[in-house]
Every structure is written in C-alpha cells, then in structure tokens.
Amino acid sequence: MDYFPYRDGELHAEGTPVSKIAERHGTPCYVYSRGALEASFREYQDALAGCEHLICYAVKANSNLAVLDTLARLGAGFDIVSLGELERVIAAGGDPGKVVFSGVGKKPLEMARALELDIACFNLESAAELEVLAGVAAQLAKTARVSVRVNPDVDANTHPYISTGLKENKFGVTMDEAMAVYQRAAELPFIEVVGVDCHIGSQLTQISPFIDALKRLLALVDDLADQGIVLHHLDLGGGLGVCYRDEQPPSIGDYIAAVRAELGERPLTLVFEPGRSIAANAGLLLTRVEYLKRTPEHNFALVDAAMNDMLRPALYQAWLDIRNARQQASAATECWEVVGPVCETGDFLGKQRELSIEQGDLLALSGAGAYGFTMSSNYNSRPRAAEVMVDGDSVHLVRERETLADIMRGEHRLPD
C-alpha cells in the first residue's frame, strides 16, 4: 500500500494533502505515516510468528515520542544507545523489560538507570565495559543481564561509514576475544549471561552477509555450550536496507525466513534491532522552494530545508527521491541542483534532478523517516523542523518547530 499517493494531482500523506500540512505547520516539516510504521513493524511480527522473538526497534532511526508510542502499542521492544533514548522509550510508554542497550561508550550513570528500570539486556561492546557494569550492578545489588556484541568480521557491502561488522570497526569484540569475555562474565556476581549479538552494518541489500554473521554466531553459541555457558537469545541487530532509488533489498519476510531456516530447531529466542526498515519509508520531509537561480553551470533550486535538517546526502552522498507536491503531467522539466540555505558547498539535498519547479512550490523528500530528524542540528542557528504524524485523515503535530528562544536556551553572556 502507498501511504504517500498522488490524488487529483496532489501528493497526500495518508488522507491529507501535504500542501495542507505545510500551510498549517510551515516548512521544513517532517511528516510520518502511522499506517506505514505499523505496516512495516507488522511485517516483522508476521514473519516471526510461531517463533520466540523480540523486535527491538532501533530508537536512533527516529526517536520522536509518537513514533515510539505507535510501535510500543504494537508490542515493540527497543534498542537504545544512550540514557536519552532510554528516557524517551519510558516517556513514550515503552516497556523497559523489552529494552536492549547497545553502544560502545555506556557511562556508569546510564548503566545505573538501566539497571534500576530492569532492562532486558546490556549488549556489551568490550571487556572493559563488562568490568564497569559489574561494578555498578554490585553497588546497586541488581543483576545485569548481558549479551556480548561480537564483531563477526563480515563485509556488509554497504557505505563504509555505516559498515560496523568488520574487524577494523570500533564495535563489539572479536570472535577470538569473545570466549574470554563470556568466561569472565559467567564468573562475576550480579552478571547473568543471556545472549549474543551483532550488528554488521546498515542499508544492507543482500541476505548473505546476515547469514554469514549468523553462522559465526551459532558456532560461538555451540562453543559456549561446550564450556557450560548456555545462551537464551541471539540478537542479529538491525541493518536491513530499503529502496530509496533502485536498490532491491530483500523483503522483511524473505530476510526473516532465511534467518529462521539457518537457525533450524535451536531453542534460541531471536532478537532483531531494525531501524531503517521500519521508519525510512514512513516519512517525508516537506520543503518550500524559496528561489530559483540559474548560473552558467547549474540551475539551483534554493529550498528552505538544508543539511542541518537532513544530513544524509551531505554525509553519505545518499540519494533521496525529490518530488513536487503538485503533479504536473505535461509540465516541462529541467535539471536542478536542490540545495539549502546553509553556508556549505556540501549543503545539497539532491543533485541533477529532473523536475518541473517554480518559485514557491512545495517539494517532498521521500525515505526521510529514518536518520532524518534524529541527525538534524542547529547549524547556522537554524531552528529544527516541526514533525507531524498523519493517521488516516487526522494530522497530529508531534514536535513543535523550535523557536529562536529554544536554540539559545542555556546560553549566557559573560558577566559585566
């Protein structure tokens, strides 16, 4: 189902023309579809039916409270990487008992709060982190359930900045080191070994790297069992890609079916940490064309969204579809550089786009629901965009546009 269809020549978000959303809430504005979020989460649930599982949505992809609330109501767990993400999950009504805590630099304060909330599992990323966690847990007399994030050293075939499972990456512990970390964990009081995890990268468009990683994890599970360390769950992380342009990632169903086939009859609960595959195509970024500028080299469409709102094109040369909210079947198109107002040459949203654009037009960037708003900043003292969630014919403002007072909050001039 298309949650962002054209009807009568106007782009809609579920039942509402996006032009109405832009008029009411201004631009730039992120628009999320509740229906699309629910549909992708349900694809995971359906594919995992009949098998012990936990789907921990990766909060970093889109941490708006309404997004977390939508998923929590469907029974989602959450993958977090900071205290801030943990508090968001709680504020959104999420169950801390379904939270896994990833990240290479967890602080004792963050561990303490997670222990107090009795989260499901800490995904340990180093031997040093285990020692710190054991200390915090002992001080609080609380048991920390742990999994060791192993770095299976498989090539995820994705952009180098979002590849995380190669031995040169900072994430996890090597396969060689894993056994020693488990043995140490097993002998520590207040530490309970429950699982193993990995996350090999993001925007993967093939199943084979996942299966290679899974095979390595299963071999480790067997070796651990031989040593008397029996695991309860296996967490394969996130990483499933989506179609932004012409990529052909496996469907959620095919991906999960392949994992289940490899797992066979093993009595392990399967955990996943999907972010992008739940949220990316559930969101648009609306932006208004302020000026058109023609130079001998290029046609520039200067829009009111910029790299501070959507960093992915500037950071990864990511390609996001850009369309005009008004469909003009017969209008002549030209080639445009769609750029923002930020003072950086790298501030572009799309290059060489064939579009029919007039000053004042409303454009929509697709695939903006994941790693969009969460990676935004106030660079150039630009207030961050509003966020809206549509649900059928209803439109909810789920984050107000920042004000200038918001962006100066907490700053002080020097004393006289």
Ligand X SMILES: Cc1ncc(COP(=O)(O)O)c(C=O)c1O
Ligand Y SMILES: N[C@@H](CCCC[NH3+])C(=O)O
Interacting residue ranges for ligand Y, rule: CB under 6 A: 162, 202-203, 312, 316, 371
Task: Return the residues of window 275-314 that contact ligand X according to CB under 6 A.
Answer: 275-277
Q: Is there binding between residue 273 and ligand X (CB under 6 A)?
A: yes
Binding site annotation covers 165?
A: no
Binding site annotation covers 275?
A: yes
Please say which residue, 101 or 182, places its beta carbon nearer to ligand X: 101
Binding site annotation covers 334?
A: no
Query: Tokens in use for 228?
Result: 């008397």
Q: Is there binding between residue 145 and ligand X (CB under 6 A)?
A: no
Q: Is there binding between residue 129 and ligand X (CB under 6 A)?
A: no
Q: Which of 64, 147, 202, 366 binds ligand X (CB under 6 A)?
A: 202
Please say which residue, 14 or 387, places its beta carbon nearer to ligand Y: 387
Q: Which residue is nearest to ligand Y (CB)?
A: 371
d(CA 299, CA 319): 18
Q: Is there binding between residue 79 and ligand X (CB under 6 A)?
A: yes
Please say which residue, 64 or 202, places its beta carbon nearer to ligand Y: 202
Q: What is the DSSP letter of 391?
A: E
d(CA 177, CA 124): 13
Strand-pair category, 362-365 with 322-324:
antiparallel
3-state secondary structure of 330: coil
Q: Is there binding between residue 209 and ligand X (CB under 6 A)?
A: no
**CB of residue 44 vs ligand X: minimum separation in angstroms?**
11
Contact 338, 349 (CB under 8 A): yes
Q: Residue 162: how many CA atoms within 13 Å on its side-chain side? A: 19
Q: Is there binding between residue 238 and ligand X (CB under 6 A)?
A: yes
**CB of residue 165 vs ligand Y: minimum separation in angstroms?**
11
Contact 157, 200 (CB under 8 A): no
Under 8 Å CB-to-CB from 280, ≥6 apart: which residues? 61, 242, 244, 367, 368, 369, 370, 371
Is 51 catalytic? The answer is: no
Binding site annotation covers 161?
A: no
**CB of residue 393 vs ligand X: minimum separation in angstroms?**
30
| Cis bond before residue 28 (omega within 30° of 0) | yes
3-state secondary structure of 294: strand
Binding region for ligand X (CB under 6 A) out of 6-14, 112-120, 133-141, 271-279: 271-279
Contact 207, 255 (CB under 8 A): yes
Catalytic site residue from 56, 121, 335, 343: 343
From the list 202, 263, 198, the residue with the least C-alpha distance to 237 is 198
Binding site annotation covers 273?
A: yes
From the list 100, 224, 113, 210, the residue with the least C-alpha distance to 156 is 210
Query: Tokens in use for 324?
Result: 């005009």
Q: Please give the size of the binding site for ligand X, defined by CB under 6 A.
A: 15
Binding region for ligand X (CB under 6 A) out of 233-241, 245-253, 319-327, 339-347: 233-241
Strands of 91-206, DSSP E: 99-101, 121-124, 144-151, 173-174, 191-197
Residue 312 binds: one of ligand Y, ligand X, none (C-beta under 5 to 8 A by kind):
ligand Y
Binding region for ligand X (CB under 6 A) out of 88-96, 113-121, 237-245, 281-289: 237-245
Catalytic positions, please?
Answer: 343
Residue positions in the annotated binding site for pyridoxal 5'-phosphate?
239, 273-276, 371
